[in-house]
Structure 1
Amino acid sequence: MKPEKCTVCGGALVTRYPEAHDPLTGEAFAVADCTWCGLGHTSPQPDDLGRYYGHRYYGNRHGLTLRHCISRRLGFIAAALPGKPGRRLLDIGCADGSFLLAARHRGWDVVGTELDPRAARQEGLDVKEDIAEFREDATYDCITMWHTLEHMRDIPHMLNNVARLLKPEGRVIIAVPDFGGWQARLYGPKWLHVDVPRHLYHFTIGALRHALAGAGFTVQRTWHQEIEYDLLGWSQSALNYLMPEPNVFFETLTGKQGETGGGGRVYACLLGSLLTLLSLPVLTLSTLLGKGGTLIVVAAPTPRMNDKKTEEL
């Protein structure tokens, strides 16, 4: 399926990358930007995405990295909902449920969604396959989407469902790769986080604000870094220009098996480690200037005019 116009605002599309390769299959896709809202669209979007999520896609986080990531994300929630712990939380795209388990340990009543919920259910978690399975009266104080919105086929439909399930005083927290950041601009189609065709859409801050506004949300706060995503975004993307096989360093760190032999993997790890260290200053600067590799936003339901009048009375 090839998008003819922006699926969020209906604007015209113009090609940014004529050819970006899937690092797993080698297939070529294009990325086109909306001339109005700036949302990037992968083209074509395969009718069957299942074969692009094979065993090489799913890797393992090291324990220390996973704990740091979860702790940071719980910190985002604490900043978005200060003084309101122990309420109801929905995580869309919860993977194996590690984040939900940590949130439950902090006192939250948690549920999740995942296309394949078996791993999370084995941990005793309530996880559904589709957000449409939630009843109208099932509402939540916090809904999180950690690097899942870019995978969704129908962004307005998903965000409208989020609006349906979020309490009026609730908050939605969304993390996506930043298509307007320095990494995306510098590395282009070889950027680690382009990841076509699994990433069907590519968000700048303007595109994300526009999509959220269409579902009745206002962005209240933003952050511009998730350190492990950003560091590897710098180092692995540079390596993609130097090595014939993409993402070797990244796949080695996450326990995935690629086609590169042992010698190539050692070379990728040594050079990748050096590039990661050299990336620290530019990572800091890009974060401070709001041009990092990751974009995290907190959004709240936009007060309606009738609500404002009621408050004034």
Structure 2
Amino acid sequence: MENEKELYTNLIPLLNCKDYTVSGDTFEVMQNQDYEMLVTSPVPADLENYYKSENYISHTDSKKSLFDKVYQKVKNHTLKQKLSLLNSFKTETKSVLDVGAGTGDFLKVCKNNSWETFGVEPSLDAKKIAETKGIFLESDLFEISNKKFDVITLWHVLEHVESLKKTIKTLKKLLKPNGRVVVAVPNYKSYDAKYYKEYWAAYDVPRHLWHFSQCSIHKLFSEVEMIVENTLPMKFDSYYVSLLSEKYKSGKSKPLKASYVGFVSNFKARSTSEYSSLIYVLKNY
């Protein structure tokens, strides 16, 4: 764990952020200048308990609230975009490992389009929902062996993993030559992050342990001899995150205000490339 420790050294306090989803607890978001990355502190010993909520939407197919409905509608649209990205990779075979597969929707779309699918998901509740869709998931990435994949995807997952460097090394090990890792994560350098500050919903403490910049992704993956081949925006994220952030900040849903902030964030990102969330396509040197 020595390599993990260096991510927690020489940290500078930046923000105090509240867990609005489960506990109401407050956590510090600290800056690691060496990696141009932010770190949540402390990491709770019972971290799994902070995922136990019906409001934790990536583990459910809920459509109860306005936020649920927006999330599910956007998810269905982005599934097609994600599949299109995978199909753009020219691979001799079509095997995909989805890490943090949730309720299995992405893998179901891949399976229906001739991809050989594998997945990892630690949440038992999410796995049960995935099984109803014919998607059967493993529980632990580190227990996968004797298998290599053309593509490994992590859709808003890397920010959750406790052993960040170990995870990145494992991804490299499980990748075929010329294979790709696709990572989607929030970007704390976006306009909406700077606007909402400690209320920015994508900090999502303590479930989000790491908060990445483009520089940090380049540096972390270069340490395992992988290069960023392409960086793509997730334009819907600025609207959804702003919708939640407005609620956290004012206690009220303000869809018009949130839509304006989301629009401004995307507009500014046209010149800065600092979108609310980014997809990184990473490839072996």
Residue 156 of structure 1 corresponds to which residue in structure 2? Answer: 165
Equivalent position SS for 2:35: coil
Instruction: Choose from 199, 207, 213 the match for 1:198.
Output: 207
Structure 1 residue 236 corresponds to structure 2 residue 236: no
Residue 38 of structure 1 corresponds to which residue in structure 2? Answer: 36
What are the residue-to-residue correspondences of 1:19-168 with 2, within 5 Å? 19-23=16-20, 24-59=22-57, 60=62, 61-62=68-69, 64-79=73-88, 81=89, 83-84=90-91, 87-115=94-122, 116=124, 117-136=127-146, 138-168=147-177
Q: How many residues align?
A: 268
In 2, Cα distance between the equivalents of 1:10 and 1:213?
A: 19
RMSD: 2.2
Equivalent position SS for 2:208: coil
1:242 partner letter: S
Asked whether the equivalents of residues 230 and 281 of structure 2 are also in contact (C-alpha less than 8 Å), the reply is yes
The percent identity for this pair of structures is 25
Residue 294 of structure 1 corresponds to which residue in structure 2? Answer: 277
Asked whether the equivalents of residues 139 and 166 of structure 1 are also in contact (C-alpha less than 8 Å), the reply is yes
Asked whether the equivalents of residues 99 and 120 of structure 2 are also in contact (C-alpha less than 8 Å), the reply is yes
In 1, Cα distance between the equivalents of 2:118 and 2:209?
A: 25
Equivalent position SS for 1:292: coil
In 2, Cα distance between the equivalents of 1:8 and 1:301?
A: 24
1:9: how far off?
5.3
2:261 partner letter: S
Residue 253 of structure 1 corresponds to which residue in structure 2? Answer: none
1:27 partner letter: D
Taking a change above 3 Å as real, the CA distance of residues 50 and 11 of structure 1, as seen in their structure-2 partners, is closer
1:7: how far off?
4.0
What are the residue-to-residue correspondences of 1:212-223 with 2, within 5 Å? 212-223=221-232
In 2, Cα distance between the equivalents of 1:13 and 1:232?
A: 30
Structure 1 gap segments, 5+ residues each: 244-266, 303-313
Asked whether the equivalents of residues 42 and 200 of structure 1 are also in contact (C-alpha less than 8 Å), the reply is yes
Taking a change above 3 Å as real, the CA distance of residues 6 and 37 of structure 1, as seen in their structure-2 partners, is farther
Taking a change above 3 Å as real, the CA distance of residues 214 and 9 of structure 1, as seen in their structure-2 partners, is farther
In 1, Cα distance between the equivalents of 2:262 and 2:139?
A: 38
2:17 partner letter: A
Task: Give the TM-score, by structure 2 length.
Answer: 0.87
Taking a change above 3 Å as real, the CA distance of residues 182 and 283 of structure 1, as seen in their structure-2 partners, is closer
Residue 189 of structure 2 corresponds to which residue in structure 1? Answer: 180
In 2, Cα distance between the equivalents of 1:201 and 1:141?
A: 26
Task: Give the TM-score, by structure 1 length.
Answer: 0.79
Larger radius of gyration: 1
Asked whether the equivalents of residues 30 and 42 of structure 1 are also in contact (C-alpha less than 8 Å), the reply is yes
1:126: how far off?
3.4
Structure 1 residues 132-156: Cα deviation after superposition (integer angstroms, max 9, x where no partner):
22113x0000000000000000111
Equivalent position SS for 2:250: coil
1:240: how far off?
2.7
